[in-house]
Amino acid sequence: MEGFYPPRSPDHLRALGLPGNFHTLGAVGLLLRIEGLSVQSARFLNELARECGGRSRRLPLPRPGICILVVLPHEAREAFASRLRSHPLLRSLAGEIDTARRAARRSIGRLRLRRRTLPLHGRTLIQGILNVTPDSFSDGGRWADPARAVEHAFQMVEEGADLVDIGGESTRPGARAVPAHEEIRRVLPVIEALVGRIRVPLSVDTTKVEVAEAALGAGAELVNDISGLTFNPSLAETVARHGAGVILSHIKGRPRSMQRKPGYHHLLPEVIGFLQKSIRRALEAGVPHDAILVDPGIGFGKTALHNLLLLRFLSALHSTGCPILVGASRKSFLGAILGEGTDRRLHGSLSVAALAVTAGASALRVHDVAATLAAVRVAESVREATMARLKR
């Protein structure tokens, strides 16, 4: 992280993977948290940080390996990088740091899909949720009839949706897995009825290769994988072969059991590390960088506090170099805060949408399109401090 202003709360520091005495380490021009080091490499990094006017600290890990935190003042960043590049054992690390710094500063201007490109500069994409399942947590069974599902898709587009996300398997906590053939039976008629008639791209919410193949073959342009390519890694090749985009989400566990006491040693580093591995998997399969979005996975193997911390430090996900999608609409952590059921969480969902936009989210996955779009328009105007978004 560059230009980082650290929080004071111990819970916040722990979530970021920082020690409780972080504030004693000096001014932050560049903050590096490096795992998987050898003893020799860690010793050199400690010495180099000190020689460049910075500080370092070894951090405990719940697994074997050495983790070093390096804090450098602004004026020492280039000298540190140059010395690192000249070290025979750490040249590759220098390259990884350079790549990460470029990714964090990368200008995210578009989302490339199969048949079109969606601009991202200065605007937030709204992805409308269309669950054609009997058991989704919020609207299970409501859109199971294909004709009603198609009608609702058109309604969301009229309200301002930029994409429609069609899901045939509930991934709510405790949900049982659905066979691929049943998932295809649910989503395919809706996709086939919409392609060529609806003016926005369709995405399919699935982790299965067979379902993605069927949906992309029918005309969908984006795969929303809640597992970040961990349930079926070969899904990456399917996405690449069809020239589609992909949403890579973080999850801990499986939907059936993911909410049984989920725990993290350091929340943000673990989520970001997971997403970086998912991105590498997609890139290696041939998916273009500008066809990838990342999602912190609100509610997927996380407590209410974990969800709040991810939203509080959402901007840290910019280090992945990919646009950020947030899917928090009507989720249970909002119910925990408000004491409301799923059908009474609109105001909480809109609050999260506005906060996510001001933190730099590029896309929101939502149930309530029109209301969210209004909240987003105000949040974007505050973020840009401009009246240009006023209706004329």
Q: What is the 3-state secondary structure (H, E, C) of 208-239?
A: CHHHHHHHHHHCCCEEEECCCCCCCCCHHHHH
Strands 117-119 and 110-112: antiparallel
Distances (CA, A) of 162 to 84, 118, 137, 154, 165: 44, 9, 23, 11, 10
Catalytic-labelled residue, pool 33, 101, 186, 331:
331
Please spell the DSSP secondary structure of 116-128, one letter per residue: -EEE-TT--EEEE
Is residue 331 part of the annotated active site? The answer reads yes
Query: Are 340 and 334 within 8 A, CB to CB?
Result: yes
Q: Which residues contact 147 (CB under 8 A, 6 or more apart)?
A: none
| Cα–Cα dist 293/283, whole Å | 12
Going by their DSSP bridges, the two strands 66-72 and 55-59 should be labelled as: antiparallel
Ramachandran area for residue 174 (φ above 0: left; ψ -120 to 50: alpha; else beta): left
199 catalytic per annotation = no
In this structure, what token pair is assigned to residue 96? 């990884």
Structure tokens at 302: 């996380």
CB 219 within 8 A of CB 139: no
Q: How many CB atoms lie within 10 A of CB 8?
A: 8
DSSP one-letter code for 88: T
DSSP 259: T
If residue 281 lies in a helix (H) or strand (E), which one and from where to where? helix 267-285
**Tokens standing for residue 107:** 């200008």
Q: Which residues contact 34 (CB under 8 A, 6 or more apart)?
A: 45, 67, 68, 69, 70, 93
Q: Which of 172, 281, 312, 365 is catalytic?
A: 365
| 98 SS3 class | helix
Just list the catalytic residues: 331, 365
